[in-house]
């Protein structure tokens, strides 16, 4: 079974631009979560989607948004990029995301550099 895939793996943008990152969960997984990892702030939860609906949300500004499609693939969008948005963006999927012992599988991440 293929793992969680994220595209692109690397991205360079300039301030003020917007970016869209994509995540394909493991087949059959319906819950997709997004995280931001930076050296200064560590790993922070962005949001989680299930059945095309945002079910949980972290403490990020409205510039960060996401969506999920009927095939459970998810995209996240960051508008009006700032230098501080440079980070590794990780996507994770799980079957239903309803039980804590349900394993979340992480993708390799998309490394975004904002110049």
Alpha carbons 22 and 97: distance in angstroms, whole number: 19
Other C-beta atoms closer than 10 Å to the C-beta of 105 total: 15
Nearer Cβ to another protein (12/43)? 43
Nearer Cβ to another protein (16/92)? 92
Nearer Cβ to another protein (16/96)? 96
Q: Quote the least distance from Cβ 53 to another protein, whole Å.
A: 12
**Interface contacts to another protein, rule CB under 8 A:** 4, 31, 33, 42-45, 48, 50, 55-58, 90, 92, 94, 97-104, 106-109
Residue 10: Cβ-neighbour burial (10 angstroms; 0-12, 13-18, 19+): exposed
């Amino acid at each position: 079974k293929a793992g969680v895939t994220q595209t692109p793996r690397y991205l360079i943008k300039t301030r003020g631009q917007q970016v869209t990152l994509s995540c394909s969960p493991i087949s059959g997984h319906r819950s997709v979560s997004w995280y931001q990892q930076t050296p200064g702030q560590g790993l922070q939860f962005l949001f989680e989607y299930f059945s095309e609906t945002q079910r949980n949300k972290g403490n990020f500004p409205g510039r960060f948004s996401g969506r999920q499609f009927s095939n459970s693939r998810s995209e996240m969008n960051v508008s009006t990029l700032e230098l501080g948005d440079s980070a590794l963006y990780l996507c994770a999927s799980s079957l239903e995301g309803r039980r804590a012992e349900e394993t979340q599988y992480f993708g390799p991440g998309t490394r975004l550099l904002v110049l």
